[in-house]
Amino acid sequence: MGKFVIQGGGKIEGEIDVQGAKNAVLPILAATILNGGKNVIYNCPDLRDVSMTIAVLKNLGCRVKRQNKVLVVESDQISDCKIPEELMRQMRSSIIFLGAIIARCKKAVVSMPGGCEIGNRPIDLHLKALRKLGVDITEAHGYINCSAENLHGDNIQLDFPSVGATENIMLAACMAEGTTVITNAAREPEIVDLEQFLNRQGAKISGGGTDVIRIEGVKKLYGVEHTIIPDRIVSATYLAAAAATGGSVILRNTDASHMGAILAALREMGCRIYTEKARIILTAPAGRLKSIEKITTMPYPGFPTDIQSPFMSLCCIADGTTMFVENIFENRYQHVEELVRMGADIKVDGRVAVIQGVRRLSGARVVAKELRGGAALVVAGLAADGITEIENVKYIDRGYETIEIYLSACGAAIKREE
């Protein structure tokens, strides 16, 4: 399955072009099946999850071509409405195809999704919303069977601002009869990117980035070209790597406006940050990082759960005590045991983790158990004394495009071994 070998102690210094956003490209690729035309997607990252999504598209009957960061999807010949269990189990976000397949085919069959085991991520919000749009849903033998001869708009109040549920409603409702209004919708930048892609196709959606999204159903959508937004979580991870090693980094093709809570936390830790159009420049403090009293994960625009793990690695070597409160996923502290193996002082009680910063971490053999926790171990390994070996890098590959190449170009002593 491969591993990373890191010789810690060097500074991350250089410039990095940030990849396209994983959490934006996946629902947009699902949306390509809606129009039955040719779609050209630019700035598409080379990720394991993208490869899995391409496999789903091909299974449905789409023709897909890739050249570097450009993906061409032709969806005029959809031949199936079922996603095989082996594909669903490899990627939880594959549930996002449900709304798109229903809108295009009026029926869909999917198994319960898999993915990183970071806690309970029920899809009941998705199913409840789809039922309000007129979808008949039955669950049996691990499969979800959906049919909808007459999709219709409705008012949908989400119990929680779920990103996936908001996206599935948008995909299903954009070609439904009438108007759909989502209240307590997710506000993430990736939602805005999906809205812009759908509107380019001819959809009538407004309110993306707010907690109320309005969708007026249309009869027909058209193939388009679209450029994926930069990945704010990848941006934050590279900033954390530079901060942890006392270095400096310039990020290109990024968007600071998507990262308010993240940049505020880094500034509080003593980093100097300068932002301009599509660039972020970070310089770590000359001495130790300062601790942050409390970091609480929240839906956007709050502090993102996806960057909690790499920031915990920062706090492990900061001067003082930091409390983390994880409000999104109850099992997102799987990296803690591995950080403790490296010398971190962390105590966990339910959703709360308390970190007493130490001066140095020590290299060790550790295991990535999920995507963002794996990134946290990379950050920790770069800052640690000695050699760190990180196993199970397949999880890191789900969201980071050849992370070892980008970091090596900035002075890191990191290599991949199969």
Query: Which residues make Cβ contacts (< 8 Å) with residue 67, sequence separation at least 6?
Result: none
The verdict on whether 44 is a catalytic residue reads no
- The Cα 361–Cα 32 span in angstroms is 46
Contact 401, 15 (CB under 8 A): no
Mean pLDDT of all residues in 151-171: 96
Instruction: Return the pLDDT at 235.
Output: 98
Say if residue 116's pLDDT is above 80: no
Residue 328 among known ligand-binding residues = yes
3-state class of 176 per DSSP?
coil
Mean pLDDT of all residues in 347-371: 96
Residue 259 tokens read as 């990262």
Say if residue 117's pLDDT is above 60: no
Instruction: Return the pLDDT at 187.
Output: 98
CA dihedral 392, 395, 396, 400 (to 10 degrees): 150
Residues listed for the chain: 418
Instruction: Return the pLDDT at 88.
Output: 80
Say if residue 128's pLDDT is above 50: yes
Instruction: Return the pLDDT at 365.
Output: 98
Residue 22 among known ligand-binding residues = yes
Mean pLDDT of all residues in 91-111: 88
Q: How confident is the model at residue 113 (pLDDT cuts 50, 70, 90)?
A: low
pLDDT in tens, 258-275: 999 999 999 999 999 999
Residue 23 among known ligand-binding residues = yes
pLDDT in tens, 266-312: 999 999 999 998 999 999 999 999 999 999 999 999 999 999 999 99
Contact 297, 328 (CB under 8 A): yes
pLDDT in tens, 321-343: 999 999 987 778 999 999 999 99
Say if residue 372's pLDDT is above 90: yes
- The Cα 106–Cα 127 span in angstroms is 15
Mean pLDDT of all residues in 58-63: 95
Residue 171 among known ligand-binding residues = no
Higher pLDDT, 83 or 342: 342
Average model confidence (pLDDT) for the chain? 94
Instruction: Return the pLDDT at 356.
Output: 98
Say if residue 248's pLDDT is above 60: yes
Residue 125 among known ligand-binding residues = yes
- The Cα 136–Cα 108 span in angstroms is 10
Strands 225-227 and 212-216: unpaired
DSSP assigned state of 121? -
Residue from 167, 52, 157, 169 nearest 113 by CA:
52
Say if residue 121's pLDDT is above 50: no
User: pTM for this structure?
Assistant: 0.95
- The Cα 415–Cα 177 span in angstroms is 53
Instruction: Return the pLDDT at 302.
Output: 97
Residue 110 tokens read as 């999917």
Ordered alpha helix ranges (H), 245-335 = 260-268, 308-316
Q: How confident is the model at residue 362 (pLDDT cuts 50, 70, 90)?
A: very high
Residue 334 tokens read as 């799987």
Residue 123 among known ligand-binding residues = yes
Catalytic position from the list 81, 116, 146, 174? 116
Instruction: Return the pLDDT at 115.
Output: 43
